[in-house]
Amino acid sequence: MPVREEQGLLLRGVRSNIVQSIRAFRVHDLQNAARQLGQHFLYANLADAQSKQDVLDLIAKQFMFPAHFGKNFDALYDCMTDPLYKSGPQPGFVIVLEHIAATPKFDKEAREQLLDIFRDAADYWGERKIPFRCFYSFL
């Protein structure tokens, strides 16, 4: 079986537009699957984040957002959707948000708000028939 098909099998049981726990997947395998499928792979390790601002700073840095990124949840959604769509055809996305911490300044509600941004982005890309899979883990 060609490698591309093998890697495609890794994501075969995963809906094409979803935000879900990383569970049994390994980051390296997801990265390889994205590469083999010709999709963008975005990774952010959020273990050192203590606040919403830290989370946004780490995502902006690790996703290589433009310097003008507004560093709020609305700006995060904007960076994950419209500018990418306007830049031309997109092959799809595999995103990993690893080690999302729960701290007094980034509590359960803030974590859910963060994941909601990625759920909304998955819906945005789903409407355009472009795969957008986001996997996350909590610290």
Domain assignment present for 6: no
Global confidence as pTM: 0.91
| CA pair distance 16, 24, nearest whole angstrom | 17
How many structural domains is the chain composed of?
1
CATH of the domain at 96: 3.30.370.10
Domain assignment present for 7: no
| CA pair distance 96, 25, nearest whole angstrom | 10
Domain assignment present for 9: no
SS3 2: coil
Counting residues of the chain whose pLDDT is more than 70, the rounded percentage is 94
Structural domain boundaries enclosing 116 = 19-133
Contacting residues for 85 by C-beta, under 8 A, at least 6 apart: 124, 128
Domain assignment present for 2: no
Instruction: Report the chain's mean pLDDT, rounded to a whole number.
Output: 91
| CA pair distance 62, 45, nearest whole angstrom | 8
pLDDT digits (tens, 9 = 90+) for 104-129: 999 999 999 999 999 999 999 999 99
User: Given this model, what pLDDT does residue 5 score?
Assistant: 47
pLDDT digits (tens, 9 = 90+) for 81-108: 987 767 878 999 999 999 999 999 999 9
User: Given this model, what pLDDT does residue 2 score?
Assistant: 45
